[in-house]
Structure 1
Amino acid sequence: MTIDRSINLKNLKYLIAGLLAIAAAVVCLNVFFIASLKNAMNQEADEYLGEISEHIAAMINERVENGFQTLRTTARSLHLFDSEEEMQSYLQVVGEENNFSRITFIDPEGNGYASDGESIDTSNEGIRKAMRGEENVSDVFVAADGKTSVFYSVPVYENDDSVAGVLAGTSSVETLKSFLDVESFGGEGFSQIVDYDGNYVVQSDNKNAVKGYDNHFTMIENNGTLEGGKTIGQVREAMAANERGTFRFDNRNDGVTRIANYISLAVPDWYLFSIVPLSVVSAQTQVTIDFAIAISCVMIALFIVVLFLLYRNYRKSNERLETLAFVDPVTGGMSRLKFEMEAEKLIRAADPNVYAMVSLDIQKFKLINDSFGSKAGDRTLRYIAQVLEHEIRHGELSARISGDTFSLLLKNAPAEELGMRLDRIAEKINGFNLKEKSKYILPVVQGVYIVDDPALSMIVIQDRAGVARKSNKTNSGKLVSRVFYSDVERIRMVREKEITDKMERALENHEFVVYLQPKYELEHDTIAGAEALVRWDDPEKGMIPPNEFIPVLERNGYIVELDLYVFEAVCGMLRHWLDKGQKPVPISVNLSRVHLKDSAFLMRFREVWEKYDIPADLLEIELTETLVFENMETLIHIIDEIHKIGFTCSLDDFGSGYSSLNMLKDVPVDVLKLDRAFFLGDMGERGKRVIEGVIDISRRLQMGTVAEGVENIPQVEFLRQARCNMVQGFVFSKPVPMTEFEKLAFGRPAGEDWEGEP
């Protein structure tokens, strides 16, 4: 018995020792597992934050590249404009459509021509770099409108690839703020843009961002320390080498440890810092770890269960991270980040025109929040999200993007079928208050982009749907209104081809109509001349304005035939007046620069003039100021030939571009036409002195003067005192048909048998 008891005791000792060994092994395994789990969770949290940071950086880089691309495209178009006014209007439109508060052309002499007409400082380093052929983004500065802004600067090239100036676009850094507000980690995470020195370029408004600092590194140094022995200097060295990385830092003031991920951006010396409190990503992990330690200490025998629980909680923690990053906190559906990631996968794997991106906005949604409170508004947003989720099919997506704006990625279908589907969605969205006594509708505005290029970035794809939605001007009072994105360049090319195809027929059918704008002589208050202007009366589209077809005809060369057509119409009109016993007034006709390609072009004009046998001094040839700078020698020769025939010659648009008083001594024109740019807005005392000086010099050179674009009586009186010869502008008359001009000039039509055709 003693031996048995001794054996049992020994066995018990062995059992206890074995159990203790097993327990120790389990404890060691648990400790090792917990430490490994913590490292894995930290690494996974770092990776999640890195993915989000990389996605935001890609969106910002895409926006910056779009800004450069807009300026490059605009720069290649500047040579098409003959006047500063046209160029300024064009730059203003481009700026409004592409989030530039101002676009400025700076010539090599440092003169700036801004889209808003304001002067700018053209001496900054960014513009000097662009003058050397380097595209760049300037340092941050405070613009005239009070917004923190940057310059995007690109060189403008001449045909010989030399730099002819700089095109600079002023863009508020606030346009980048929407990318920093991408929902992540349930709104606890945030991103900021800093420069190499740590100064904030764009600072986040997130509740977790420490306020009151202008410098990110100063904020860290004053409030906390970096973990793992890292220093700000090491971080800056990694940034300078364009390395990306992650570090943790403890905030002494609030006791919160934060994870920070940094990545360089496309703009030199710009870096994106994405930050999230460690507690957000590790809260569930910490619960799991504490629970596992307690179980391992109390129930060693159940270590398998503990391991199972750890694994289960590990999975839950994973799901929690995904929920924070990929679930919309209001609707419970996809977050914007998740939508963009999933949509990109579907679009990249599909052929062109398979998918349609729809941007959907609920109009008057603010009424719900104002009338019933934000909780009712959130309930409505959840209802809308549920409707969209119910309506989408396999391989389609829906998500709330921001506020009351949603995005849908739908399978494409014929326009009518797709439209009916989107109409049905709008009707179901408005089912949220069918049971209410006081029913009201929420108009739904939709923008649709058929994804014809799957290689485009998600930013561009969503932007095109957004552009279509924002361009909707017909949604007033309607349940649903919809606009499909249209490729402006494609439409322009189609329109240009249509004009080209119609040109010969239009000339043959005399669809081009000559209008006359009177020139009023100030000394005698009479009509002393007129300018011939052309209009296109298309039998299908009606009256087409000159700015729509003249540039096209100048590019394809048809302007030569049109100019001759107008010249012959004017000659016929003057012949008609002479035959009816009227005393004609001289008529001026415009001459396109395209004529200069043919040194003998004046022969055709002479043949037409001789055909109608009218006094040569009744005809005036108008040359644009830009011709002076293209080939001065050729231009002077042409003017001499014009004078030999007997026609007078005028220089149009003086003051619209690079006007130089010096050129007046070399260009022997008879009349100088002051451009309308002189008379825009308030001329001011300095402006008046300039105009008086030009008129006085013209008079001394025995040149007549005509002021164009004059629109009010005070300007007329000033020009009368300045001894300007004639005025042309809306203050007296817009361009009118020939019969109306005859009533103005002669008091009655010259006859009924003239139709105004050559």
Structure 2
Amino acid sequence: MKTKKNSIAVSIMLVGLMLAILSGFAVFYMKDLTTNLKAETNAYLSEISQQSVKTVKKQIDGDLSTLHDLAEFIGAQEDLDLNRILSTLKGVCENNGFKRMGIITPDGIAHTTDHMEMDFSDRAYFYDAFINGDPSVTGVLIDKADGEPIHVYATPIYKQDKAVAVIFATHHMEVYQELLSISTFDGRGYSYIVQSTGELVVDTAHPGRDPAFTGLDSLFHNPDATVYADSGEIKFNMLLDKSGILEYTVNGVVKYMDYTPIGINDWYLLSVAPASVVSERSNYILTRTLFLYIGVIGLFTLLFVYILVFQHQSKKRLEQLAYYDGVTGVHNLSWFQLDAKNLLEKHTQLHYAMVQLDVDKFKYINDMFGYEEGNRTLCHIAACLQEQVKSNEAFCRVANDHFLLLLRYSTTQDLSNRIEQIRHAICAPSNEHTQYALILSSGVYKVTDPALPITTLIERANLAHKTSKDDGKGACIFYSDCIRDRLLEEKDIENHMRAALQNGEFVVYLQPKIELGTRKVSGAEALVRWNRPGKGLIGPDQFIPMFERNGFILELDLYIFRQVCKRLRLWLDCGLTPVPIAVNLSRVHLHNMEFIEKYQRVAEHYRIPPRLIELELTESVVFDNFKIFMDLVRELHQVGFALSMDDFGAGYSSLNLLKELPVDILKLDREFFRETANNDRGKTVICGVVSMAKELNIRVVAEGVETEVQAAFLKKIGCDMAQGFLYAKPMPMGEFEAYVFGRKLDA
């Protein structure tokens, strides 16, 4: 519960943090957006100004060009015929939209296309054009004829490089206002033309114009205006033909003004746009962004809630997969390790024991009654354990039929009684399990140091459990120092086994096989002993099981096989008649069938006829995997090796399998032989096995023959060979050669 509350608190903190981050991002985004939109508006305003400048300049340049062309045309005439010239100018005036055109003679009298004569000698543009020869465009002038504001173009007329008159044209003020009336910013933008000194040249007719605007000075000195720039700096920039943007407020309305040089008469184009253009765009975008932001927050919240729900469900599913056994539904090893560690840390005042138990010959249940029945048996065991395990205890299914328990106890006897009670509950006959009896083996480790890793406790219980398997069916063994010593001894063996193989410490012993009919040696079985320096001769039972567990048996088996082939080669080279030698194969070989090719190469290297080689496998190998065994027999027969089945009678299905086994030799297990040969029913079974083998053309060897009575019985029922202490014990190769050939050979 506490963990769940912590998880919720962390989730809320994460949501708050994410919202704070998103809010900060939104504020930053809005500020950045406003700044970018303002910069974008100013750039657009500058672009509009440039376009307007081009339009005005094009108009003025066009008009001046028209006057220049007319001046050259008139100057090329023979005389200055005013009537003819004015008649021509009248048509040009109408075509170009001028208010009037005319000729100013050297005395300053203007003769116009609308039949007026006026004295323009006081006009500066006449002086500039006639005296200085400079074409000009005026600012706003008052028309002497009607008092209206106008603009005047003037350019000199030359004859033989001498000014003889001035041609002029006037425009209504509205002409330039129309040029500046380009709709910008949805019709809210407008323009002025001013001198570089700030005086107004062309006003705007736009309704949004600044009130009482007569130039930049009127703006800077307007009491209702606030300009966020220095007027002197702006005028200085204008004198240098520089452009720029200024921000100001008139009557509470914020505006932006771009000033751009036109390139004529030191004129500047002023383009104005209200700041509301930016705010409206930014507000529009920000509003949409806000809705998007709210939508994202909503989606994020929904997604987060969904993730929490999905995570909770997934956690349950993962927990089911990670901590529960799929067959029985009880906890698995992963959960058990956590639970056991927690119990040991929490209840240091209690005594605990780690117990491992399993069902003897559980594979028999699967093979005889099917995996479904095997699973029902596992569920039965799990249900019994669930009833028997108390509070502050734990149990789990590890794998297959292996279960682990962590039990509380007060005394060793109390613990033994408790384990016996659990075994009784599991093994008691019931309606569900009347077909077979359950026999449990268990290993117990009394926890003396709760600080030890759980894996160490399990390993020690497992070690005791293995010992219980060795000690007989249904045994319960407590871990002890002896078992620990055995573990240390096995570790010592593992540390020295490879060096021992290289140093030739593993020695081949041969035990003769006797033909019962002639009592002659007809074969031998190769057995291994370890002649370890400082420890003497070690029997195979002390190292073979461990070598099978760690895989070293593969190297040892190949070494023994090579030594046997080498000896057979020696016998052949000495002209002796070798007897076939049987070499044991571990079940580990079945996991990799490539060993057959290795054995074949060794036999070919020593040039040993395959008929002299006999490979032995135990009956349990057949029982483990019949298909693999059949494939193995087929490949060995293709090579030419004979195959014998060792320990026949130790399993459960020998008679059923016998008819299907393509083996060459059958070796009766000594325990099977001892238990059955002393009563009539047993003798009948042995007789039947031998008789069946004979009909299947399989030779039979009896192991462990110790008395003449046993030998006579075996001979009587047709058994082919016998092997046991009655005839000879396993012996070194030299002694075997003396026993068989009458002399020892130098290897």
**TM tier, shorter chain?**
0.3 to 0.5
Higher relative contact order (Cα pairs below 8 Å, separated by 6+ residues): 1
Q: Which has the higher Rg, Structure 1 or Structure 2?
A: 2
